[in-house]
Structure formats: structure tokens, C-alpha cells
Amino acid sequence: MNHKRLEEIFACLMIVLGALMASFSVICILIPNDAIDYGTAGIAIIINKLTGFNLSLCVGLVFLPFLIAGTAMLGKRFGFKALLGTSVYTVGLAFFEKVPFELNTEHFLAVVFGGAILGAGLALILKNGGCIDGSEIFANILVKKASEKLGKNFSMTYILIGFNACVYMAVFVLINRNAALMSLLVYVVATSIINHFTDHFEAIKQVTIITKDPDELVKAIKEELNKTCTIMNSYGAIAGENKTLICYVNYFEMQKMKEIISQNKGSFSTVSTIEEILR
């Protein structure tokens, strides 16, 4: 079994672990303490609370259209990992609903602890190329469409904030204000954990590639990501004359970028987080 296959198996195992952590947090800690998850999972929990429909089924149905759109835009590899994470997450919700465990402590402490577990689980999923929340796919689609039309790179931050603000407003109006405030605390704690481990996944990523043969890389980046590159002459102390490519992508496009780079041997690349691009 080659090294790449082992890496893929490990990534899938981490997605499974992250999805189980997230489902445990939601069922055993957050919901019993008057809080909910955010994003499309939050929408599914609101539907469950208002209608009494099965929670796992609600989560799966709400996420399904985003999964289909994400697979179409980001490829089958992303779709497989997103499907894996979502399947384990929904099965985990159903399983932990039957487990007689609740964290019976002060609501604030329970929500902080649950938010931390949720954030750690989601960070594991995101770092390994998966996704169990449709809001991230929705934000990626909007950013991609805006970039194609306007020729500019945008961060997903404000879209995600706006999406989740709508979720919490719905919680405030349809459920109660305590649930809305507790859920907002979950969002703050969970996203803080996620950002720590993924280096602000919602931000723009700058990929710098040093190579002697840039033509195939530039062609693949254009064809598979619909992105362009800035190309500069560079010189290595040992390798001699090189070309340096700079390209801007979002977090979900990074997996495809890694595939492209791995197929072009002899290149050296780095990734950094960009807060803002001025034009």
C-alpha cells in the first residue's frame, strides 16, 4: 500500500472521528443545555424542534442539496468525503439519542465545553478535506460565482456570518432568546477552535509554487480550478533558475490544488493565509 493511499485512509478515519465528536456534542451536551449547532445543522435542529420530525432525517435532507452542489463544483473526491462525514454525523446523532448521557452542569460551562468538542470535531473534518455543514458549501459557491463574474478574490467570512446570523434570528423568534444566546456562544467557541487548527479556513489562501516547468501547472490550475497565476522569475542557490507561481484559492479548493501540485513532481510550494487583497 503506497504512502498516498495511507494518507487517504487516515484522512477518512479523522473525518469519521470528527463527525462522531460533533454528533456527541450536539446530542449529549448542546441540546440538553438549551443550545443548538450552527449552519445547516442548526436549521435541521430548528425544524426538528418545531415539527418533531426525526433529527437525523432532518439533517440529511437539509444537507443533501448542498452536498450535490458541492460535489458538482468541487469534485467527486470532495463529495465522497462530505458524504462520509455527513453519513457518520447523522448515524451518530441517532446513536447518541439512545445513549443515557447528559452533561448536567451549569448551562454556560456545558455550552462552552460542548462548543469546544464540536469545534475540534469540525476542525478534524475540514483539515482532512471533508465537510458536514452546507453553509460552508453555500459560501464557497457564492464566492466562486462572484470571483468568476468580478475577477476578484473574496473571503467566505462575511457570508458565513450572515448565514448564521439568520439561523440565530430564527432561533430567537421561533424557539426562545435563551436558546439563541446559548447557540451564539457555541458558534463563538466552535469557530475559535476551528480557526486555530485550520488557520482561518474561511480566509483566502495564497499558494506559492516554485518550479522549473510551470506550463503544466498553469494549464491544470486554469482547467481544473478556473484560476490564473502570477509568474515570476526566481533563482535557487542550488537549483538555479526557476519560475515562481502565485495563485489565490479558498480553503475548499486547496484539496484540488494539492492534487495538481502532487501530479507535477519537482515543485516546491507553500500556503499562507491572506486577510485582504487590495486592488
Per-residue pLDDT of the chain (279 residues; tens, 9 = 90+): 577 788 888 989 999 999 999 999 999 999 888 888 888 889 999 999 899 899 999 998 999 998 898 888 777 888 888 899 999 999 999 999 888 877 767 778 888 999 999 999 999 998 888 888 888 888 888 877 777 777 666 778 888 888 889 999 999 998 888 888 888 899 999 999 988 888 777 788 899 999 888 888 888 888 888 888 888 988 877 777 888 999 988 888 888 888 888 887 778 889 988 876 766
| 242 three-class SS | strand
d(CA 94, CA 104): 20
- State how far the Cα of 256 lies from the Cα of 254, in Å rounded to an integer: 5
Are the CB atoms for 122 and 190 separated by under 8 Å? yes
- The 10s digit of each residue's pLDDT in 206-228 is 999 998 888 888 888 888 888 88
**272 in helix, strand or coil?**
strand
Q: What's the rounded Cα separation, in Å, for the pair 184 and 182?
A: 5
Distances (CA, A) of 31 to 42, 56, 120, 184: 11, 14, 18, 13
- Domain 204-274 sits in CATH at 3.30.70.120
- Domain limits, the chain: 3-198, 204-274
CA distance 191 to 121: 11
Total-model pTM? 0.83
At 278 the pLDDT is 65
> Which H helix or E strand runs over 117?
helix 107-127
